[in-house]
Amino acid sequence: MKVENNKVVTVHYTGTFPESEEVFDSSKDKDPMAFLVGHKNMIEGFERELIGAEIDETREFTLTPEDAYGNRNEEAIQEMPRDQFPEELEIGMMFQAQSENGPMQFTIVEVMEDVVKIDFNHPMAGKILKFSVTVIEIRDASEEELTHGHAHGAHGVHE
């Protein structure tokens, strides 16, 4: 069996920033990750690079921001009054704001006397990402998983 759309694939993965070689996420020492291929559960490039892989195969690939979390948009950096935030405020803290399109996450980038600079960009936007991914298991998705558009864990049970 090979990785293709509508399969549930279980992988071990390590993601690094190629410039600093810093690991930003890894399934090492954790359970492997299962996902349904072809239903936008993963970033686009991640799935594309795994198509055709077989069990026990390891693939290494580097994704541009376009294939990962998108480019940064400088207009997504905004200022808000300082008094709308708690007293204890640190750079890098994340909050949620209500918008017309539902909740949106933002990150504190600068704290000044009267205003706080916030960034609505995804924290991974604009970044080049390198992955090493090993395929552990491939199975057909159940009807229920296809209807829901996501994987239901290792044995197809809803979690």
Q: Footprint of Zn ion on this chain (CB under 5 A)?
A: 148
CB of 59 or CB of 150, closer to Zn ion: 150
Q: From CA 64, how far away is CA 125, in angstroms rounded?
A: 10
Question: Concatenated DSSP letters for 94-131?
Answer: EEEEEETTEEEEEEEEEE-SSEEEEE-S-TTTT--EEE
CB of 40 or CB of 48, closer to Zn ion: 40
CB of 2 or CB of 148, closer to Zn ion: 148
Strand partners, 98: 103
- Residue closest to Zn ion, measured at CB: 148
Kindly state the smallest distance separating residue 141's Cβ from Zn ion, in Å: 11
Kindly state the smallest distance separating residue 136's Cβ from Zn ion, in Å: 21
Q: From CA 53, how far away is CA 58, in angstroms rounded?
A: 8
Q: From CA 15, how far away is CA 27, in angstroms rounded?
A: 9
Say which residues have a Cβ less than 8 Å from residue 143's Cβ, sequence separation at least 6: none
CB of 126 or CB of 156, closer to Zn ion: 156
Kindly state the smallest distance separating residue 45's Cβ from Zn ion, in Å: 25
Kindly state the smallest distance separating residue 152's Cβ from Zn ion, in Å: 6
